[in-house]
Structures are given as C-alpha cells and as structure tokens.
C-alpha cells in the first residue's frame, strides 16, 4: 500500500502542503467510518460546498491519536484553495486502489499521512546570511528568492506573500514599538474582518502583496473614498504591475507604491544610524520579531528565518 501512496504523492506533489494533508487525513477517516468505495458527492457539505468534516477540530483529533498536539492548520484546510479538487482526486485514488487490491489497511494509510505531517513540521527554516560584501537589498532579495523557490515546489502555497506580510509587520513594530498595530495570519481576509488593509496606522492602510491585481486597486480606491491613504508594499516585479493598474484606475498619484527591498533596507540603515555594528543589531531585531509573529499567527514553522552565527 505504501508504494501506491508514494506513487500518488509523486503525481500530486502539492499533497505535502498543510491544506492537502488535512484533506487526506479527513477523507481517510471518512473511509474508515463509511467504508470503501467512497461516494465523493457525500463528502460535500450542503450549501457551503466544502469538504465534509474538514476543519481544525477534526484534523487535530486525528493527529492527537498519534500524539501530535501542534496545529497543522488553523482552519483545518477548510479555506485552502483546491480542497474540493484534492478531495475528489484522493477519493478516486482510494476507490481505484480498493477495486484493484480488494482491501486497504486504513491504519497504515493514516500513518503515511501522519508521517508527512511530522515531516512538514520538521522542515528547515529559511536562512538569512549577513554577508558584509552584499548590500541590504541583495540580502533581502536572496531571502525572498528562497521563499519563491520553495513556493514553486509546493503548488498552492503562498510562502513568499506570508513572508512579506510578516517582515513588513516586524519592521513596523521596530519603528513604532510592539503593540501599536494589529497583526493577523496571512490567510485572514481583511475585508471580512472589517479591516481596510493588512495594517492600519493612523489614516494609512498598508496592503502587502507579491502579485497586486485589480482587486487590490479597488481596495485602494475604497481607501481613498473613505479618506485613507493607501500604501502598497510589494516586490520589484509587483511594483511594475501595480503602477500600471493604478495608472489605468487614475489613482497612481494618490497612493504610495513601495518596493519591499528598499522599504526594509532604508529603515534598517536609519534605525542602525548608518553604523555597521548597529545595522547587524537591527537586522537581528527585525528577524527576531518576524519569528515571533510567525509563531503567533502562522502554523508552518518552516516560515521562520535563521541567521547563522559567525564561527
């Protein structure tokens, strides 16, 4: 059975992500309760169109059977994009395996997915190397490139966007002091919570995005209509896109568009009083605060950033 599961995983690499892992655990549990073959239509909630039973409580109850208490996903994968398609793909795999093999050891199947959950928790964090031969912008660029590379290997993940949001949050805490702004998980919807952006300071609404689109520009227009000043913080590539969209919407002159590398590097230089030793201190403070925010608001510990110590 394990070889079949490994083949399924090889063909569906995104199942190593926390959302698909939640789906696999819950559907495996349904197979134990309902028997095989499963009817995928019976695993869809009425009205909401979500996977039946997919939520934090169910997922954590399954993990608890294996002595795991860490939270895999705050929403239990319920809000992850593609959960319905992942459920149908996994159900088709289980049904086909059952038809060919006759019986399936569902305890072994569950153990397979639990092992992947443990591997997910054990993933190494990102690394920020303080190379004095590089400028701060280059160091930040290399850090973001790590997140982008890992994201490409995990379809559906938004690692770079999550990193951006909490780096910006950490930077604002360094400037203003902790407790002055509210922080949220990267997957929390600001509009549904009555927020006007990812961060709000005075009359300024910060929007952090790796891929600004028309929806974000509409949020900026809403900010302006309500007397707020929108600020977009994005990547160099995202800045070019946002500039064009803002121009099309005729609000380019009314919002601030900041590129993340410059946004962080400038403040680190200023906070470090343009001194080499203090620059390193401020970088370490930034990353320390970032790691605190990851621990408080995200469930993926591999989003943490390590700074290797000099030997």
Report yes or no on 6 lying in a domain: yes
Domain assignment present for 267: yes
Whether residue 244 is predicted with pLDDT greater than 90 in this model: the reply is yes
Q: Are 213 and 242 in contact (CB under 8 A)?
A: no
In a domain, 41, yes or no: yes
> 256 with 275, same domain?
yes
Q: What b/e string do you get for 25-43 counting C-beta neighbours within 10 Å, with b at 16 or more?
A: bbbbbbbeeeebebebeeb
Share of the chain above pLDDT 90, in %: 63
189 lies in the same domain as 260: yes
19 shares its domain with 114: yes
Q: How far apart are CA 61 and CA 200, in angstroms?
A: 36
User: Could you give the CA distance from residue 160 to residue 145 in angstroms, rounded to a whole number?
Assistant: 8
175 and 220 share a domain? yes
Count of domains in the chain? 2
Domain check: are 225 and 179 in the same one?
yes
Name the token pair of 244. Answer: 């064009």
Looking from the CA of 244 toward its CB, the CA atoms found within 13 Å total: 7
**At a CB cut-off of 8 Å and minimum separation 6, what does 196 contact?**
190, 205, 219, 222, 223, 226, 228
Query: Are residue 138 and residue 184 in the same domain, yes or no?
Result: yes
Q: What is the pLDDT of residue 156?
A: 64
> Residue 144 falls within a domain, yes or no?
yes
- Show which of 73, 102, 121 is a domain's final residue: 121
Q: Do residues 117 and 130 both lie within one domain?
A: no
In this prediction, residue 152 carries a pLDDT of: 79
pLDDT digits 0-9 by tens, 45-65: 877 678 999 989 999 999 999
The answer to whether position 160 is within a domain reads: yes
Q: Is residue 311 part of a domain?
A: no
14-51 pLDDT, tens per residue? 888 888 999 999 999 999 999 999 999 999 987 767 89
User: 79 pLDDT exceeds 60?
Assistant: no
Same domain, 172 and 287: yes
22 and 133 co-located in one domain:
no
Q: Which of 146-160, 274-288, 296-310 has the highest mean pLDDT?
A: 274-288
Domain boundary residue, one of 63, 97, 121: 121
Same domain, 139 and 57: no
Shared domain for 153 and 270, answered yes or no, is: yes
Last residue of one domain, picked from the residues 76, 91, 121: 121
C-alpha–C-alpha distance, residues 254 and 221, integer Å: 9
pLDDT, one tens digit per residue, over 146-203 is 998 888 766 667 889 999 999 999 999 999 988 889 998 887 765 555 688 999 999 9
pTM of the model as a whole: 0.68
Range of 67-81, 110-124, 224-238 with top mean pLDDT: 224-238
Q: Are residues 116 and 79 in the same domain?
A: yes
The boundaries of the domain holding residue 62 are 2-121
């Amino acid at each position: 059975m394990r070889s079949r599961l490994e083949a399924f995983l090889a063909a569906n690499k995104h199942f190593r992500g926390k959302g698909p892992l939640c789906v696999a655990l819950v559907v495996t549990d349904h197979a134990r309760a309902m028997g095989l073959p499963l009817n995928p239509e019976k695993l869809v909630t009425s009205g909401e169109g979500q996977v039946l039973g997919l939520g934090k409580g169910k997922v954590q109850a399954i993990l608890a059977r294996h002595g795991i208490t860490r939270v895999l996903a705050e929403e239990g994968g319920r809000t992850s994009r593609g959960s319905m398609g992942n459920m149908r793909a996994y159900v088709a795999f289980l049904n086909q395996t059952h038809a060919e093999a006759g019986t399936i050891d569902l305890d072994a199947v569950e153990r397979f997915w639990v092992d992947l959950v443990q591997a997910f928790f054990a993933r190494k964090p990102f690394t920020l190397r303080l190379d004095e031969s590089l400028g701060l912008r280059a160091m930040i660029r290399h850090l973001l490139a790590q997140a982008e590379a890992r994201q490409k290997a995990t379809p559906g993940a938004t690692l770079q966007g999550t990193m951006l949001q909490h780096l910006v949050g950490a930077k604002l805490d360094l400037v203003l002091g902790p407790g002055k702004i509210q922080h949220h998980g990267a997957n929390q919807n600001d509009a549904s919570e009555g927020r006007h952006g990812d961060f709000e300071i005075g009359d300024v609404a910060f929007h952090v995005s790796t891929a600004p689109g028309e929806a974000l520009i509409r949020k900026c227009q809403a900010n302006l209509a309500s007397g707020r000043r929108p600020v977009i913080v994005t990547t160099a590539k995202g800045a070019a896109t946002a500039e064009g969209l803002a121009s099309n919407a005729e609000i380019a002159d009314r919002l601030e568009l900041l590129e993340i590398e410059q946004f962080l590097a400038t403040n680190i230089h200023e906070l470090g009083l343009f001194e080499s030793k203090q620059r390193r201190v401020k970088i370490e403070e930034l990353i320390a605060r970032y790691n605190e925010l990851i621990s408080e608001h995200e469930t993926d510990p591999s989003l943490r950033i390590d700074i290797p110590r000099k030997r």
